[in-house]
Structure formats: structure tokens, C-alpha cells
Chains A and B, each alone.
Chain A
Amino acid sequence: MSAGNHDAADWLPNDLGGVATAPFERVEHPMLPWEKRCHALADVLDFHKIISTEEKRRGVEALGEATINKLSYYERWVVGFAHLLFAKGIITPEELALKMSEVQARFSVPET
């Protein structure tokens, strides 16, 4: 269970045991509504055996360290879901692009 010294570059981005990091801070924020929906979506995908917890983790890992470090926790999840759903042929990138403009339009404020 204890990890020796190792070079983080030799390891997958999620495998953090024993790696040198930024100082610890006891941070907490109340979950935002979209984050909670994202968590619920993950659970529902797991129940339906569409994406398991383990696949989700590997999907996030596959984004690579640079992307992982740029995104927040649930941002990584949704990007990971998109890639996994493309890979499984459940959703195509074209469908997603179309849907995203549709959703964006729902929120557009008409100019007054």
C-alpha cells in the first residue's frame, strides 16, 4: 500500500500514490446543480451498464495529464463520457455538436 519514490511521468495520470504534489488544502465547495446532475448521470450510465465506474475512471485517465489538470472534477467526467459514448458508437460527434447548439440556444437571451 505504500508507494516508493517514483517519477510521475512514468505513471498513468490518475495513479498518484506517493507522487509529490502541491501543498494540501482542506477545500470543499457545495455541489453545483450541474455537477450533481453529472454525478447522477454517471450512476444511471453505470446502472444501465453503458459506462461502468471503472470505465469512467479509465476514460478520464485517457484524456491525458494536461487536459486532466486543466479541467475540474466533473468537467473531466463529462468530457470522458463524450469520448466513451463516441467510442461505443452510442452517440456520434455530429449529433452531439448539433444538440449542443440546440441546448445553447435554449439559454440565449434575446436582445432587447
Chain B
Amino acid sequence: MGEHGHGHLDTEGSGDYTPGYYEILERSLADLLVEKGRIGANEIRREIEVLDSRNPALGARLVARAWSDADFKKRLLANGRKACEELSITSYEDTELIVLENTETVHNLVVCTLCSCYPRAVLGLPPDWYKLKPYRARAVKEPRTLLKEFGTIIPDDIAIHVSDATAQVRYLVLPRRPAGTEHFTEEGLATLVTRDSMIGVVQLGSVRSPAESIDERR
């Protein structure tokens, strides 16, 4: 999956690029919709710019703010969408954002078993593995074993909560603040937060001893 001979750059007009069947289908559908006045001529280009503006740095800002400001964290956990607005992060139409806090006793994991719903307003588009069958099928059945394959060992005394996203409800994990970051600024904290930690497939390691990265329990 994923490799179907489209491994070229977009070089329309340069004369040496032959798009595959599905790309021709995509271009044809878009052209017809514009010709029929169903969509505007520049809307797809503009939406690509929106897609490009969404990336895990936005989620990292939310997490860093939550770690630094207990009141913000409360608001973030109560209503993710509203809390995003405080940081001028807009949501896509009709989608709710539920933020799940990792604690000493609970580790959260996000999946979309049906397809690929993902908190893309704050993380951008999902990685391939998130959209493929093995992750979707196994996350709800054997999360602990699956997480081991990411190098993430969750001890048996920590519960794993798996949340299954839908078109309307998207989930974001609030990872635990790494040890050794007591004096970090909010901006400094944001640089530590990774995409995968906000999906819940990895934990953030202690800052002072990256070698012991996985284990931050006391």
C-alpha cells in the first residue's frame, strides 16, 4: 500500500511527468467541480495552505501551556476546542477536541478503528501507520503489546485507556511532563513535545538522562 508509481514531484507543464490513473482522476474531478461552479477555482490551493499550516507544533504549544498553567490545563481538559481558541488555534468545522491526560495511573492511546480520524487541527495529517490496518485493529485489542512495538513499555499497574476517534470527536493525549524540566520556559517545554507522544504511542523521557528515556516513573 502507498507505493503505486506516483513517486514523482509535481512537475505539470515540464513535459516529462506522467501522472498515474488516480492522479488524473483527482485532477479531473476537481476541474469538473470548478467548471460546474460547485467549488471555487482557488479553494483547493487555499485549503492546501491551511493543511500546510497545521503541524504538531500547535499541539505542543497546547501541552506546554497546560504544563505551565494549571488553570489553562483545567480549561483544556474541560473543552479542548475552546482552549485552542485561547491560543488562536482554530478548529475544523463541527469537530470536537477531547484532551486526555496521562497520569501516574493512566496512559492514553488514540486510534481511529474505522478510518483515520485524527486531531489534525493541532497535529496536521496523520502518519501512514495510523491509517493502516494493523494499528487500527490492534490498538483496541492488545494496546500494551502494540505499544511495546513502538518501544513503549507500560507497566502492568498503569491502565491503558484507548479512545476511538470519529469524524466529530477527535482526541489528543496530554503527555506527562518530563522530569528535570522544572525550570523550563513554556517555549522550552514545547520543544520537548513530540507528535507521537500526543497520539499516545510514546512517552516523553526525562530531560536529564535521555538514556533512560522511557522510564520516568518514581
Question: Using a CB–CB distance below 8 Å, which chain A residues touch chain B?
Answer: 1-3, 14-29, 31-41, 43-48, 50, 52-54, 57, 60, 71-75, 78-79, 81-82, 85, 90-91, 95-96, 99-100, 102-104, 106-107, 109
Contacts and interface: CB of A to CB of B under 8 A. Distances in A.
A16 B136 contact: yes
B51 A78 contact: no
A95 B125 contact: no
A17 B29 contact: no
B217 interface: no
B167 A53 contact: yes
Given A31-B125, A34-B23, A96-B28, A20 B137 contact: yes
B25 interface: yes
List the 7 shortest-distance A-B pairs measured between CB atoms, nearest first: A33-B10, A40-B47, A24-B134, A17-B113, A53-B167, A34-B23, A99-B28
B71 interface: no
Contacts of A16: 113-114, 133, 136-137
Given A21-B137, A45-B39, A48-B39, A37 B44 contact: yes
A44 B80 CA distance: 24
Interface string B23-46: 111111111110010110001110
A73 B2 contact: yes
Contact of A79 (B22, B38, B163, B167): B22
Contacts of A37: 26-27, 30, 44, 48
Contacts of A17: 113, 136-137, 140-141, 164
A23 B24 contact: no
Contacts of A79: 22, 25
Contacts of A90: 33, 36, 38
Given A21-B133, A21-B134, A24-B135, A74 B9 contact: no
Interface of B: 1-4, 6-7, 9-10, 12, 15-19, 22-33, 36, 38-39, 43-45, 47-48, 50-51, 92-93, 113-117, 125, 127-129, 131-138, 140-141, 146, 149-150, 162-164, 167
11 contacts: A2-B141, A17-B137, A18-B141, A27-B2, A34-B23, A34-B27, A43-B50, A45-B33, A75-B4, A99-B32, A107-B19
B2 A54 contact: no
A70 to B, nearest CB: 9
A82 B134 contact: no
B29 A81 contact: yes
Given A16-B133, A16-B136, A29 B164 contact: no
A81 B48 CA distance: 18
Contacts of B128: 27-29, 73
